[in-house]
Amino acid sequence: MLALVVDPRSGARLAFGSGGTILRSEELGRSWQPVASGTDQDLRAGVVEPRSGALFAVGKGGTLLRSDDGGRTWRRLRTHTRKNLKGALLDPRSGALVAYSERIVRLERP
């Protein structure tokens, strides 16, 4: 696994990794369940949007995923790039999501 985030609402742990792998644990990591990501691209980082509690995952091939239900389901957002994304940050002032690596992708209040 390459990245781990905690859903602020449920406390569930989510791990992201190779081949689009997403694992979710509601038991503090004692057991894990696979979650469909809808991609086969490696997922490299996750971030939580503090205002809404939305979860995001970024990865290879310009992959950017969003979950609004604590990581149970995911949908792909357009990034207008196929370049690899390695990390993401949220701008605390504007709420914009900035994903970065080979390209920089900025989404206003995703």
Distance separating alpha carbons of residues 18 and 104, to the nearest angstrom: 21
pLDDT, tens digit, for every residue of 32-55? 999 999 999 999 999 999 888 999
Q: How confident is the model at residue 110 (pLDDT cuts 50, 70, 90)?
A: low
3-state secondary structure of 18: helix
- 10-48 in b/e burial notation, b at 16+ Cβ within 10 A? eebbbbbbeebbbbbbbeeeeebeebebebebbbbbbbb
pLDDT, tens digit, for every residue of 69-99? 999 999 999 888 999 999 999 988 888 999 9
Domains of the chain from N-terminus onward: 3-107 (2.120.10.80)
pLDDT, tens digit, for every residue of 23-34? 999 998 899 999
